[in-house]
Amino acid sequence: MEIKLVKVDMPGDSNVILGTAHFIKTVEDIFEAMVNSVPMIKFGLAFCESSGECLVRVDGTDEELKKAAAENMFKLGCGHSFIIFLRGAYPINVLNALKRVPEVCTIYAATANPLEVVVAESEQGSGILGVIDGLKPKGIEDEEGVKWRRDMLRKFGYKK
CATH number at residue 114: 3.40.1520.10
pTM of the model: 0.92
pLDDT of 20-47, one tens digit each?
998 888 999 999 999 999 989 999 999 9
Q: Please give the DSSP secondary-structure letter assigned to residue 150.
A: H
pLDDT attached to residue 159: 86
pLDDT attached to residue 137: 93
Q: By residue range, what is the domain housing residue 71?
A: 2-155
Read off φ and ψ for residue 135, nearest 5 degrees. Answer: -110, 165
Residue-wise DSSP of 16-36: EEEEEESSTTHHHHHHHHHHH
Instruction: Grade residue 158 by pLDDT with cuts at 50, 70 and 90.
Output: confident
In a domain, 58, yes or no: yes
In a domain, 160, yes or no: no
Structural domain count, the chain: 1
